[in-house]
Structure 1
């Protein structure tokens, strides 16, 4: 039985969709169906229950999914270690990164990594921090990069980069006339913030709590799913956004946005690598070492 057939099964099982598995693996849907049928013939069991357009795992499917995750991980480690014998890095590395990191930090790093290790098949899943942690626990990615402050006990976090959140406004906003405000003034200012589950919102809430303030006491106009959406929203609405300083460098230089300091309310944070506990070595370790060497340029 090939590792690819197991990958097909795992993708169908995770997505509970032949169509999504086809899109994820860049394989035709009939080919996906054929792989599943061959697995069912080999084990002489049904792996999925078909109910109209929906599917669900059978008991046999649940069992195969449990073992396939370990088998595929062992395949990946074997491939890495065999090629390591002659100093050749080859294999598949599935990364996941929270939105700010994926958009404003990783692109140049990924380009350099691909140039250095052209035989590594690299992919990137983008989502908020909670989503990336869930993908890691579900074995949909090998290594995550997140920006939140919460820690899950089943995961291991390692520091990557320092970051800072800032309050920004349109340069022509009525709020742009002030260089500085106090935390107590925040409830009087309409805000646009990142969505629940984002590391950015986690850090902002923590900063508020240090001043005995809650998010519910603020005037939040919108929660949006990306920093780019927040920046576009600020172009058309007289309000304030809370974003990473890394995400607004070009807008600040161009004079389109302005930073308004919130006095006595620093919003420092750390970008972290995140792995499953006990999962070490392999291409994930290679990528982390590479990122560490290039972090000063990010």
Structure 2
């Protein structure tokens, strides 16, 4: 039933004709299109003629050099691709309902992973497992543990590690901490000891791993300004309101573009560790099994 796209003046436009049209345009050849579609050349020519008749428009100009689109053909080409995609999605969704194969993976994650590392991994995961839906929520580490225990989420990403009965963890990322300063800061701060930044306001994200690392430096600093989220921290630093210490992977784009500048602080050689966490000793969903296998197979390289 999805072969019929629409009717025009009583004429039926078949989705297969659109697929043949798109493939002919893509290859610039009726012969190549026929080969790729496993059709005979006369069958391809007939489908193209049927399409032109149904739309009452010349769509292709045929010559010894191949085929070229007319103005009407160019208009149809973009619509045809959309129709084909919609038909494929419809078929997939109906098949999922029939076979009960659709899965949804619910993820709770700390903000740095959710904002800066996870998007690339999810894109690659969806390429491999298109039938799995993914729902992501940002939350604190304590909330991740709570949501895992009450089965509100399937998988969590947290800062640091965790030693809780019934939960399994896997380190997925380790990132160096870097001190960031405004782009117009003087060159002198590029190589600085802890004391050089003591008079500069410190801006940190709430509940961030950098808090403990800074304590290890024995820095005497002004009371920190704590903000909700790294984007707010980066904006404040870029505007000249202070400095911050953040995981490198969260600011590599800004450092590359020059929006922020790195200050080499003596003694700041710590890392932030991030882990995936999920319930163990129970039957897990296929979606969770797929994702865990995906992580084990690809490691940290899938993260942005």
Q: Determine which structure has more spread, i.e. the larger CA radius of gyration.
A: 2
Tell me which residue corresponds to 1:169: 181
Q: Distance in 2 between matches of 1:206 and 1:131?
A: 20
Q: Distance in 2 between matches of 1:192 and 1:114?
A: 36
The CA deviation string for residues 203-229 of structure 1, in whole angstroms up to 9 with x for no partner, is x2332343456xxx5324521121111
The CA deviation string for residues 127-149 of structure 1, in whole angstroms up to 9 with x for no partner, is 23233223222321111011235
Do structure 1's residue 190 and structure 2's residue 173 form an aligned pair? no
- Structure 2, unpaired ranges of 5+: 1-95
C-alpha spacing 1:137/1:251, structure 2 compared with 1 (3 Å)? same
Q: Distance in 2 between matches of 1:211 and 1:241?
A: 14
Tell me which residue corresponds to 1:273: 276
Do structure 1's residue 122 and structure 2's residue 134 form an aligned pair? yes
The CA deviation string for residues 140-188 of structure 1, in whole angstroms up to 9 with x for no partner, is 11110112355445533211122122110111135x5322222344432
C-alpha spacing 1:280/1:106, structure 2 compared with 1 (3 Å)? farther
Q: Distance in 1 between matches of 2:277 and 2:174?
A: 15
* Matched residue count: 204
Tell me which residue corresponds to 1:93: 105
- Structure 1 residue 234: deviation in Å? 1.5
What is the TM-score normalised by the length of structure 1?
0.60
The CA deviation string for residues 10-42 of structure 1, in whole angstroms up to 9 with x for no partner, is xxxxxxxxxxxxxxxxxxxxxxxxxxxxxxxxx
C-alpha spacing 1:95/1:211, structure 2 compared with 1 (3 Å)? same
Alignment of 1:74-85 (within 5 A): none
Tell me which residue corresponds to 1:296: 301
Alignment of 1:149-164 (within 5 A): 149=161, 151-153=163-165, 155-164=167-176
- Structure 1, unpaired ranges of 5+: 1-82
CA RMSD in angstroms, aligned pairs only: 2.7
CA contact (8 A) 1:193 1:220 kept: no
- Structure 1 residue 252: deviation in Å? 1.1
Do structure 1's residue 208 and structure 2's residue 208 form an aligned pair? no
